[in-house]
Amino acid sequence: MSLLFVFVPLIAFIYASVGFGGATGYLAVMSLFGIEPQVMASTALALNILVAGISFLSYYRAGHLNPRLLWPFLITSVPAAFWGGSYKLTDQTYYILLYGVLTFVAIRLLFFSKKKDDIKAVHAVPFWPALIIGFGIGLLSGMVGIGGGIFLSPIILYARWGNSKQAATVSAAFIVLNSTSGLLGRLACDTLILDTFSLSLLPFGLFGALAGSWFGAQRFSNLNLRRALGMVMSFAVSNFWLAFWR
């Protein structure tokens, strides 16, 4: 369990550098230590709000925010995240959903990160598709205990709605608001569980987020970081699926 105090700031550093909160990383690591699912999801959301909030501020101060990339998704994602957070899933359903999400993330980051992800936007965000995308991401995010930015960012890049820095900024804000909504949904339905150990992880996440968000907004190339993150996620999901199919 003490290794979590090493993994959490490292995950926060890597994720914050690309505008994410790190929930998928925290969940992957915590699942290796046998932590109860409701504690995992609640802790990941709390860390998400902290880390993504710091990441957003760093990217915002660097001038990368495009509000028109953000608000259409939020209209449906925030209430959907609250609704998803109120679901009481069985442990088996939770783990299958979680590692399905993690598998998607790992494949996307490891094999589909390209230099052209950083080109400038050429299309405006279409309103109705944004509402549908926001709802789907928000619902899944609330159920699993993530913020959803790790899905929104590649959609923005693939659709050419924004460049990599803009996508990171929007994703960070998206994560903070959806994670807050999901956390409130858990609170309203008594699925929010934060114990002393999970709360003690927050300062370590803060340290990693402060460093990672500054380097991501000012210094780092997002391409290599996305690929490194994909390697970490691949290791986490491979362990689960090997054990699941035995």
Instruction: Give the domain extent around 16.
Output: 4-244
Q: Which amino acid is residue 46, in one-letter code?
A: A
pLDDT at residue 16, rounded to an integer: 86
Instruction: Give the pLDDT band (50/70/90) at residue 53.
Output: very high
Beta carbons within 8 Å of 194's beta carbon, 6+ residues apart? 39, 42, 43, 46
Q: What is the pLDDT of residue 20?
A: 82
First-to-final CA distance of the chain: 25
State yes or no: pLDDT of 221 exceeds 70: no
pLDDT surpassing 60 at residue 117: no
Asked whether residue 76 carries a pLDDT value surpassing 70, the answer given is yes
Region 40-54: what's the mean pLDDT? 91
Q: What is the pLDDT of residues 177-191, one digit of tens each?
A: 999 998 898 888 888
- How many domains are there within the chain? 1
Q: What percent of the chain has pLDDT over 90?
A: 29
pTM for this prediction: 0.82
Distance CA(171)–CA(19), nearest Å, equals: 6
For range 76-82, the mean pLDDT: 93
State the average pLDDT over residues 81-91. Answer: 83
